């Protein structure tokens, strides 16, 4: 469910504000009414998205961020079982939002917090708000509340030195994100970064991407292995003809961006149903589980 369009940030590599304009929140009541309609039609999982979800409400009323209130309202709708939030910006991810995510049982204790980099100089040149120290303190606040983290990084931004890339690797090793996606920088027409000197060679960018993803693969593997033996509720998503197995997701797997849980069950499952599962296996992307009666 898209809760706003456009973006007021001006990340130097991004053309979205040029294409979609400034931040424009959808009216609160319209979003809630649409969620109610979806729930009445049988939808049980709602994912709130925007270019910058955590800023929702900045252009309404007194300008305070209203994502916490929206989460309260959507999770109170009868029939809504799970609510998720994707694409938050670190500086608008306030404690009040983290507290709300922690407090509401239907809301996934999961934040997608694209950070892009951690080197202060690169963050400045990307025109991202927040220093490395401050970002680390936000991560600590999430962890304190048991919120799992997905992030996105860009490698090969113009001028990224070997040392700055190493700073990123060290940070990823230390932060141990539950999920991490990464991209090589690509110049977008009309953006400030496209005109920056010291564009990085494609081969170097790809090599850095491989190094980062290899590092994260090990971390994701350990994170997933730590879930073996735990139990969780799983929403059945579908049946895979090739493997002959049903698959689904728990509250900790966002649709499309995260892996899935392969299900062993001794009965036919129905996509859309929720089942209790014990996790029995893991790789770096997916989990395997057995349905509990």
Whichever of 123 and 147 has its CB closer to ligand SF4, that residue is 123
Closest approach, Cβ 99 to ligand SF4, in A, equals 23
Closest approach, Cβ 263 to ligand SF4, in A, equals 35
Using CB under 6 A as the binding rule, whether residue 11 contacts ligand SF4 is answered as yes
Using CB under 6 A as the binding rule, whether residue 51 contacts ligand SF4 is answered as yes
Using CB under 6 A as the binding rule, whether residue 38 contacts ligand SF4 is answered as no
Whichever of 9 and 93 has its CB closer to ligand SF4, that residue is 9
Using CB under 6 A as the binding rule, whether residue 108 contacts ligand SF4 is answered as no
Structure tokens at 254: 């966002």
Closest approach, Cβ 101 to ligand SF4, in A, equals 20
Residues 6 or more apart whose Cβ sits within 8 Å of residue 63: 57
Which strand ranges, in their side-by-side order, compose the sheet holding 110-112? 110-112, 148-155, 179-184
CA distance 35 to 274: 20
Q: What angle do CA 155, 252, 87 make, to 5 degrees?
A: 45
Whichever of 20 and 173 has its CB closer to ligand SF4, that residue is 20
CA distance 162 to 4: 38
Whichever of 53 and 216 has its CB closer to ligand SF4, that residue is 53
Using CB under 6 A as the binding rule, whether residue 112 contacts ligand SF4 is answered as no
CA distance 197 to 270: 55
Binding part of the chain for ligand SF4, among 2-10, 133-141, 193-201, 227-235 by CB under 6 A, reads 2-10
Closest approach, Cβ 62 to ligand SF4, in A, equals 23
Closest approach, Cβ 209 to ligand SF4, in A, equals 18
- Residue in 176, 256, 162 with CA at minimum distance from that of residue 211: 162
Closest approach, Cβ 11 to ligand SF4, in A, equals 3
Using CB under 6 A as the binding rule, whether residue 7 contacts ligand SF4 is answered as yes
Whichever of 168 and 263 has its CB closer to ligand SF4, that residue is 168
CA distance 277 to 273: 12
- Residue in 279, 203, 289, 198 with CA at minimum distance from that of residue 245: 289
Q: What is the largest CA-CA distance in the chain?
A: 61
Whichever of 181 and 272 has its CB closer to ligand SF4, that residue is 181
Whichever of 14 and 70 has its CB closer to ligand SF4, that residue is 14
Using CB under 6 A as the binding rule, whether residue 52 contacts ligand SF4 is answered as yes
Which one among 3, 4, 14, 98 touches ligand SF4, defined by CB under 6 A? 14
Helices of type H across the chain? 16-20, 28-40, 67-75, 95-103, 120-125, 132-144, 162-175, 202-225
The residue count for binding ligand SF4 (CB under 6 A) is: 10
β-pairing, 110-112 with 261-264?
Answer: unpaired
DSSP string, 257-282: TS--EEEE-SS---TT-EEEEEEEEE
Binding part of the chain for ligand SF4, among 5-13, 60-68, 99-107, 277-285 by CB under 6 A, reads 5-13
Mark 79-98 with x for binding to ligand SF4 (rule: CB under 6 A) and - for no binding: ----------x---------
CA distance 290 to 281: 9
Task: Give the residues lining the site for ligand SF4 (CB under 6 A).
Answer: 7, 9-11, 14, 16-17, 51-52, 89
């Amino acid at each position: 469910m898209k809760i706003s369009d456009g973006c007021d940030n001006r990340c130097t590599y991004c053309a979205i504000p040029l294409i979609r304009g400034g931040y424009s929140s959808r009216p609160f009541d319209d979003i809630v009414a649409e969620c109610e309609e979806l729930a009445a039609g049988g939808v049980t999982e709602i994912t709130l998205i925007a270019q910058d979800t955590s800023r929702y409400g900045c252009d309404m009323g007194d300008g305070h961020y209203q994502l916490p209130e929206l989460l309260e309202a959507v999770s109170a709708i009868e029939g809504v079982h799970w609510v998720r939030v994707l694409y938050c910006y670190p500086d608008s991810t306030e404690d009040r939002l983290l507290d709300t995510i922690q407090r509401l049982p239907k809301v996934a204790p999961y934040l997608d917090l694209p950070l892009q980099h951690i080197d202060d100089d690169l963050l400045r040149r990307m025109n991202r708000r927040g220093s490395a120290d401050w970002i680390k303190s936000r991560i600590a606040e999430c962890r304190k509340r048991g919120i799992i983290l997905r992030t996105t990084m860009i490698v090969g931004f113009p001028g990224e030195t070997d040392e700055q890339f190493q700073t990123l690797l060290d940070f990823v090793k230390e932060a141990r994100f539950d999920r991490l996606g990464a991209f090589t920088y690509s110049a977008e027409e009309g953006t400030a970064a496209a005109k920056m000197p010291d564009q990085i060679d494609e081969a170097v960018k790809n090599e850095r991407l491989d190094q980062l993803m290899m590092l994260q693969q090990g971390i994701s593997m350990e994170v997933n292995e730590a879930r073996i033996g735990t139990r969780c509720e799983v929403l059945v998503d579908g049946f895979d003809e090739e493997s002959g197995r049903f698959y689904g997701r728990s509250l900790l797997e966002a649709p499309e961006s995260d892996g899935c849980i392969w299900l062993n069950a001794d009965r036919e499952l129905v996509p859309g149903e929720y089942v209790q599962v014990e996790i029995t296996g893991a790789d770096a992307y997916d989990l395997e589980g057995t349905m509990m009666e």
